[in-house]
Structure 1
């Protein structure tokens, strides 16, 4: 009986470690998107073209993967990063991530797009990771979102926005808006919404 209990506990521990690894891998991609504004400042249209190309190539890769045809590297990265809910289906997260950044970059001035992209990269990226690691208190009606994750989102966006504008009030309002959006049960569509909406709110505040 004790051996069986130890076996079950071992399986649960391995599953938890695997989930944390996947979250860490996935959110490292989120955080790496913070470099996009820097590249946009040096080569705007080439970066826009690369984002569009990435969306097209990834979409084709996922459609082929659904038919059992794996694309080297791309399919492997998707497999490693995919959540349990994404198994045997089109993994939408990378598409919404790139589209959210693309929309912000095309519609907003670079300084405003930068704040929106940072909100996605640091706010949403770190929120999910901290929620997995330290989240004990869940937020009612938020589909498993945790207080730890939401607070992490708030502070990450506040700091990144303050680094961009040096204004505490603007940073506070921007961070509160980002935290509210992050709490909403939007699944992967928060990637699509956060950069343009937060960038637009920031542009209105300044």
Structure 2
């Protein structure tokens, strides 16, 4: 379907079309030390210590003497994200213009890439070649900090459209100037500066995911909106079930702690540390094997822009329970926080209607579900009377407006249980 309002969709290249950066792959051609140096310079650029011009000057000087055929060889080895060409074709079929813009890839390679992917145009930096050998010199608009904005304004002038018709898909801070001027910005596996400011975020290896947001900004029909809403509701359900499935897995901790306490404790602390490192990577567009994949499946939309603290607090609540309480009490409180908190969240999130007066973030239905499930968990460890009292106390703690309930529930319940038995 062709839309009435033509838009310009701009894709950054490194990290968006390509899975990684061409600069890093070129530096590997000159040895591991140059690769490490380039990686460090890219880090300095990422934290705003140097600008794009300074980065290019310090990196491209290392490439002096590089043959054009080697540039092509590295370029052809660059891996692309999934469905890049299909995504661009879909956008163009709807009557929009697609531009590929990069401040790190030579212009002649960008022209070739735009032809490969059937984009309307491609722009990169101008590199100076002498008889097929790179001289170490470069130039062009895109070699300057505001170069992308200038290039886009030229495209807008040719197509007779404005910044209100622009959608930018990027990952690093070199795209921020464009994103601030464009009507819509989409962060794709983005670094933290972009993650904070982009209107939409996509954490995926599939470029088609950006189409959900492009279509949303493209005057969708009622049927398209309804379909999108149904998809969002279905995704929310699956996301919450996956999230609580991981949460529920904590019920196994008392069992493993009974077999070998020290190994279980050390394993918990190691997994927590790895998760925290994984989150730092995620917030900057990278990933950690297995952990990042699970996080993407479970993370809520509001957590995309910040550190996901819930798994850390759950782990800390379990670790403190193992260290502070006897085996019986630790087993009770860990089972309650793992199982009952999961049940309460699912019931409250999807069926909760009556809000608790002193905590509007939680519902009466969710608290009832917590109470019943906590009682069921407790009777495996405690007499019925004590189990009922403990479940009531833990339910009250869970209902309080305390953000870190993964810690407050096991510790509060454990302290109370320690006083009555």
- Decide which structure has greater helix share: 1
Does 2:246 correspond to 1:29? yes
1:182 aligns with one of 378, 388, 398? 398
Match of 2:338 among 121, 146, 153: 121
Bigger relative CO (Cα 8 Å, ≥ 6 apart): 1
Structure 2 gap ranges (5+):
1-219
Answer yes or no: is the 8 Å Cα contact 1:161–1:174 preserved in 2: yes
1:115–1:202 Cα contact (<8 Å) kept: no
Q: Does 1:92 align with 2:309?
A: yes
Contact 2:397 2:412 in 1 (8 A): no
Greater Rg over alpha carbons, structure:
2
Measured on the aligned residues, the alpha-carbon RMSD in Å equals: 1.6
Relative to its length, the structure with more strand (as a share) is 2
Query: Which residue number corresponds to residue 384 of structure 2?
Result: 168
TM-superposed deviation, 1:140: 2.9
TM-score by length of 2: 0.46
Partner of 2:86: none
**Which string of whole-angstrom CA distances, capped at 9 and with x for unpartnered residues, describes residues 136-190 of structure 1?**
322234233122211110011111111111x222112211111112222333x11
Q: What is the rounded CA distance, in whole Å, between the counterparts of 1:143 and 1:82 in structure 2?
A: 22
Structure 1 segment 52-71 matched on structure 2, within 5 A: 52-71=269-288
- Tell me how many residue pairs correspond in the alignment: 202
Greater mean alpha carbon deviation, residues 99-108 or residues 130-139: 130-139
Is 1:13 the counterpart of 2:233? The answer is no
For structure 1, the 5+ residue unaligned runs are none
Counterpart in the other structure of 2:360 = 143
Q: Are 1:113 and 1:196, in contact at CA under 8 Å, matched by a contact in 2?
A: no
Offset of 1:18 from its aligned partner? 1.3
Structure 2 counterpart of 1:101? 318
Counterpart of 2:22 in structure 1 is none
Q: Secondary structure at the match of 1:185?
A: coil
| Contact kept in structure 1, 2:344 and 2:369, CA below 8 Å | yes
